[in-house]
Structures are given as C-alpha cells and as structure tokens.
C-alpha cells in the first residue's frame, strides 16, 4: 500500500491555530514530515501519533497573534519547548533548548493539510498496538540518529514551488 505519487505544494505554506488568533507562514520547503509515536506526541496530538513537519526556525513567520511557550522534557531526555495560541491552546511548533535551528511544526495546523504524508515513523516502540505499519515504511523504535533516509524519502513524496 506504499504511496507512489508526488504532491506539489505552493510556498508559502499558511496555517494557524483553531480559533484563528495565531497565524503563520512557512516560507521555505520543509525538510521532512514523519509520524512520531512517542508518548509526548501522542499526548500533544490527542491521538495515536503526532505529525512533525521539520522546518528551519527562520522559515516560520508569525503573521498575526503572539505565540505563548511551554517547556518540558521529551522521551529522549531533551529539553523541548512548544509554541501555542494563548487563546485556544492549539500547539503550533516545537523546538529544542538550546536551539539547534530546527522546529517541528504540527502538520495538522496547515490550512490545507491534504498534501501531508509521513516519510516514516519514529518511536514505534510506543505505538498503539492497533496501529499497523506499511511494509515499505521507514521505522525507528526510538529517536533516529540519522534523518537522511526520512529526508530523502520525503523529497520523493512532495515537491515545493512558488504560489502563482
């Protein structure tokens, strides 16, 4: 059941929180999207996994509203922070402290998430027992040490261009 078609997405990618008070644009192509099954992502997403969209910090531009921040320690032991709407509580992005220049943007906050497809799955040891992985999926039981396979696969799934 592997995914074989390439989707084309126009930049900038727009999105925001549930109430519309916090809006953003992503002005550069994401590096990858994957499904994370860690307990933190399950809790944050309110579901079986999160869909982090990996972007550079400087590619995220808030266009309205002011994000608030929460800090926690992840399953991997890293200190993480999340930006969210102070009015509706919707989580927008996560980063690491100290910063590594990368953010994990929540894919469900895109205005049009129909193009979103995960290139693989992380923290599969925490996956819900009913979730079935595709035989072609890239899988990691915990945090990957090398993201190159995810980045390369994502580049075969999604292409980016300018809005016309």
Q: Residue 111, by phi and psi: left (phi above 0), alpha (psi -120 to 50) or beta?
A: alpha
pTM: 0.86
Q: Please tell me the predicted confidence (pLDDT) of residue 43.
A: 86
Predicted confidence band of residue 46 (pLDDT cuts 50, 70, 90): confident
Strands (DSSP E) contained in 12-90 are 13-16, 23-26, 32-33, 35-36, 52-56, 60-64, 68-73, 79-84
Task: Indicate the CATH number of 30-158 among 3.40.980.10, 1.10.730.10, 3.90.1590.10, 3.40.30.10.
Answer: 3.90.1590.10
């Amino acid at each position: 059941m592997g995914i074989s078609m390439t989707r084309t997405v126009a930049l900038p990618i727009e999105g925001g929180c549930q109430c519309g008070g916090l809006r953003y644009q992503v002005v550069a192509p994401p590096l990858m999207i994957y499904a994370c099954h860690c307990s933190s992502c399950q809790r944050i997403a309110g579901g079986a996994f999160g869909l982090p969209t990996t972007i550079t910090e400087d590619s995220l531009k808030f266009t309205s509203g002011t994000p608030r921040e929460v800090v926690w320690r992840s399953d991997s032991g890293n200190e993480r922070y999340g930006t969210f709407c102070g009015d509706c509580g919707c989580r927008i992005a996560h980063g690491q402290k100290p910063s590594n220049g990368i953010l994990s943007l929540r894919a469900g906050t895109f205005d049009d998430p129909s193009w979103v497809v995960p290139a693989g799955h992380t923290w599969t040891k925490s996956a819900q027992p009913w979730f079935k992985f595709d035989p072609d999926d890239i899988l990691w039981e915990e945090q990957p040490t090398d993201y190159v396979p995810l980045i390369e696969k994502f580049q075969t799934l999604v292409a980016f261009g300018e809005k016309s």
